[in-house]
Structure 1
Amino acid sequence: MCDFIMNDFEPSSAAAWKQKIQFELQGADYNKTLLTKTNEGITIKPFYHLDDFEKITIPSAEINPKICKKVVISNEKQANLEAIKAFRNGVNSLKFVADTIFNIDEVFRNLLNKNIEFHFQLNFLSEEFLLKLIEFLSNEMSYLNIDIIGNLAKTGNWYKNLNTDFKTIENLLQKNNSKFILSVNANIYQNAGANTVQQVAYALAHVNEYFTKFDANIASKIQFNFATGSNYFFEISKIRAFRYLYNLILSKYNTSANAQIYSEPSLRNKTLFHKITNTFRSNTEIESAVLGGSNTISNEFSSEELLQNNLLKNTQHIVKGTYYIEAITKQITEKALTIFKEIEKSGGFLSQLKEGTIQRKIKENAQKEQTQFESRTLVLVGANKFQNKITSLKEDVDKNLLQKKKARKTLIIPITTKRLSEKLELKKLKNEA
């Protein structure tokens, strides 16, 4: 039937489309009028056509990603109850966040042997505790997510010192050959203001430091953590570009591994007031993560109901043949690879962190976005445009975003989360006080 209908229409080439557009512009310059340059230096065209379509092969990802609930361990019994409730509500993945060692038996009571995927965000490094945790979860799918380089980037310090931290990782890798031990927390860069190209490049340079230290055969023990923002198609393309480049780099080491990607909504664009707007933003960010090919999706700021939507979970085939997404993916790939090569030529990621080069580049992009936010070129509904009146600070404030920053001595300049609306919100809070 489709062929029968389409046979009545002559195919039109990309050149014919462009010629028609130029005629309609009535002398206006095509490039200046219709081509858009993004902060990343990516060019967006007014149309995409099969004639100039260049497809790159992206390694396959999960069709039905896991749904993850974050549980903070401040009280083991409470954390256990929260985790059980999330599981009963349909969550099949849990991420436990802890600042100190905890009672493992209490936290995991009635949670084992239920096909739950366990993730960890441990803000400490204890080899003894980690070995106990690994042994306890020996029959479960678990991701320790230890990222000593990420900790240095985020806090400005090692857990103990460079040699001790790397030795701890080495011991854990040797004693636990089959477990996911390491992670690369690329969410740090997005939440601080890095653009999509920088995030991909820094994630690659970040993991390459681990390859240099331990060999690329550890690739099967690494999980990548990305934060997805609200630039819908760019965020889809970002994850796809990373998958492609990661595969490319591993091929240079004569090894292979399918990247395990954990995605969570960005903090960068979240607002302190009117929590519901954060939910709306997160919904599209979650869709981007799914369509990009993430293995596990955090439901932070969102709900289990959205993530359980089977239509959402089975729509990755939509990106196949979409010329716009393919074109953006290719541009992100090319630009990120250029940055990655520059970092490696300059001594590697750790070297550039110590020099402050990575921090400076992120800050430059973050400031560019901040200027766009303040001039309302970059719009956050409810923050810098269509602002809603605050009815009650207690009800309207998202307390999870109120982070107290402690001044401390650091080895390097830390890469810290910086929300676009912080300055504006501080002004509001002063006026309401």
Structure 2
Amino acid sequence: MSDKLFSEFEGVSSKQWKQQIQYELKGADYNETLVWESPEGIKVKPFYHSDEAGQPLPVQSPKTAFSIVQNIFVHDLEKSIARANETLNRGAESIRFTLENDQADVEKLLTNIPTNVPVYFYFEFLNPDFIKKIDGIAAKRNATVFVEIDPIGQLAKDGNLFANVDSDFTVLNDLAKSCQHINFLSINAALCQNAGANIVQQLAYTLAHANEYFNRILAIGKPITIKVAVGTNYFFEIAKLRALRLLFNTLAKEYNHTFDCHIVATPTKRNKTLYDYNVNMLRTTTECMSAILGGADAVANLAYDAIYHKDNEFGDRISRNQLLVLKHESYFDIVNNPSDGAYYIETLTEQLAEKALALFKDIEKGGGFITQLIEGTIQRKIKESADKEQELFDNGKEILLGTNKYPNKEDRMSHDLELYPFVKINPRKTLITPIIEKRLAEKMEQERLENEKQ
């Protein structure tokens, strides 16, 4: 139909477009005026054309994949069950429980959730008997359950493994053999993004992280869950998720694995602000859009007040409704592979994947992801990237509205802090220096809070 519709118009080549643009620039340099370079070293052109586009990349993002996730911290079991079912009645499609310890009655927790609702479990301990119990309950109920176990991510975030490398991977190999009904393995890729890593680093580190598991676990039979934080660079973030799936599948094939990864996306914390906090809703909306268009299997939105308020009904409802609007009113769940054929996104996907693959190969030559964590190489590279971004923010070149651009000087927040919104210092003995998540606005916000006291 498109050929018939447009066949009467003469095509305009890429060369003709460039000639016209150069004419309109009246002598100004095309590259210096219109081409900009991203922190990843990608030169972004003012237009992309079919003349310069290759074949669409083999990245699949079916419309049925987008699931709305509600995060619930389990402290009081009965209240958590009631809250889970209430949120399901109000639009949530899957639940992610965070557990404090292995004393929680997971059978009661799962029994009270409909079997057609996917359930995620997150906890910072490694108890194989507890995980096998969840597997048994999932088998009995024929439920879809993801248990987010990630010893390497624990090392990166906390500075220590659950026990040690040999012990932790012995447990994982045991679980791989005995747990046939749950997805028990995950990768926390969000940590690097929230700490300030650029997109190429995020992709390469996630790939190296996955490669450690492929090398050390002999019988992985289920998809690996990858937790991704989505930043504010709209089209780059779409391309990031597409490149991640492409790279993961390429690596998995090398190990004769046929399963895909399961991507759970959430907005980044890095650009969220304490002051003028309602702007956070705009940020999370575009970040969720990037996640969906990039092909995330599930999206857990971040409440606008998550950095300084405890979980609350209003914040959860607003964040959930943002996703409901995108799904049911903006129809983001209607089209398969919505980014296919967009020359800009296809080009970004390919360039990010190529750069990430090159960095991944360097990491492997250097001994692999765990080795480079122990040596401090990964932490140093992330810090270098974070420092560059922080400098741009401090100089006003990277803008957060309401914070370093058009701040409301009358805004007061010291009375409203239920949570400490800054990096927490916890001196302790660790195997490595952990990767520290830090928001761009922290220093500026601390100064403003101090001025409130005067």
TM-score range for the pair, normalised by the shorter chain length: over 0.9
Structure 1 position 11 matched with structure 2 position 11 = yes
Determine helix, strand or coil for the equivalent of 1:128. helix
Structure 1 position 420 matched with structure 2 position 440 = yes
Give the TM-score taking structure 1 as reference length: 0.94
Deviations 1:227-273 (A, max 9, x none): 10111100000000111111211222233222211101111111123
Q: Which residue of 2 aligns with 1:409?
A: 429
Q: Structure 1: how far apart are the matches of 2:355 and 2:418?
A: 36
Determine helix, strand or coil for the equivalent of 1:85. helix
Amino acid at match of 1:127: P
2:170 to 159, 162, 167: 167
Unmatched segments (≥5 aa) in structure 1: none
Structure 1 position 333 matched with structure 2 position 349 = no
Deviations 1:196-240 (A, max 9, x none): 11111110000000011114x526341111010111100000000
1:199-218 alignment runs, 5 A limit:
199-215=202-218, 218=220
Q: Structure 2: how far apart are the matches of 1:384 and 1:345?
A: 41
1:191 to 191, 194, 203: 194
Determine helix, strand or coil for the equivalent of 1:181. strand
Q: Which residue of 2 aligns with 1:117?
A: 118
Q: Which residue of 2 aligns with 1:357?
A: 377
2:261 to 259, 262, 266: 259
1:53-72 alignment runs, 5 A limit:
53-64=53-64, 65-72=66-73
1:293 to 292, 295, 306: 295
Q: Structure 2: how far apart are the matches of 1:296 and 1:198?
A: 23
Amino acid at match of 1:342: D
Q: Is the 8 A contact 2:61 2:336 kept in 1?
A: no
CA RMSD of aligned residues (A): 2.0
Q: Structure 1: how far apart are the matches of 2:411 and 2:319?
A: 24
* 1:241–1:213 CA distance, 2 compared to 1 (3 A): same
Q: Which stretch of the first structure deviates more once superposed, 372-381 or 49-58?
A: 49-58
Q: Structure 2: how far apart are the matches of 1:233 and 1:326?
A: 10
Determine helix, strand or coil for the equivalent of 1:275. coil
* 1:182–1:4 CA distance, 2 compared to 1 (3 A): closer
Deviations 1:3-33 (A, max 9, x none): 5663443211101111111222222222222
Aligned length: 431
Q: Which stretch of the first structure deviates more once superposed, 383-392 or 127-136?
A: 383-392
Q: Which residue of 2 aligns with 1:37?
A: 37
Q: Is the 8 A contact 1:275 1:397 kept in 2?
A: no
Q: Structure 2: how far apart are the matches of 1:175 and 1:243?
A: 27
* 1:325–1:346 CA distance, 2 compared to 1 (3 A): same
Q: Which stretch of the first structure deviates more once superposed, 42-51 or 95-104?
A: 95-104
Determine helix, strand or coil for the equivalent of 1:303. helix
Unmatched segments (≥5 aa) in structure 2: 304-317
Q: Which residue of 1 aligns with 2:27?
A: 27
Q: CA deviation at 1:400?
A: 7.5
Q: Is the 8 A contact 1:39 1:195 kept in 2?
A: yes
Amino acid at match of 1:418: K
Structure 1 position 147 matched with structure 2 position 150 = yes
Determine helix, strand or coil for the equivalent of 2:264. strand
Q: Which stretch of the first structure deviates more once superposed, 136-145 or 56-65?
A: 56-65
Q: Is the 8 A contact 1:265 1:285 kept in 2?
A: yes
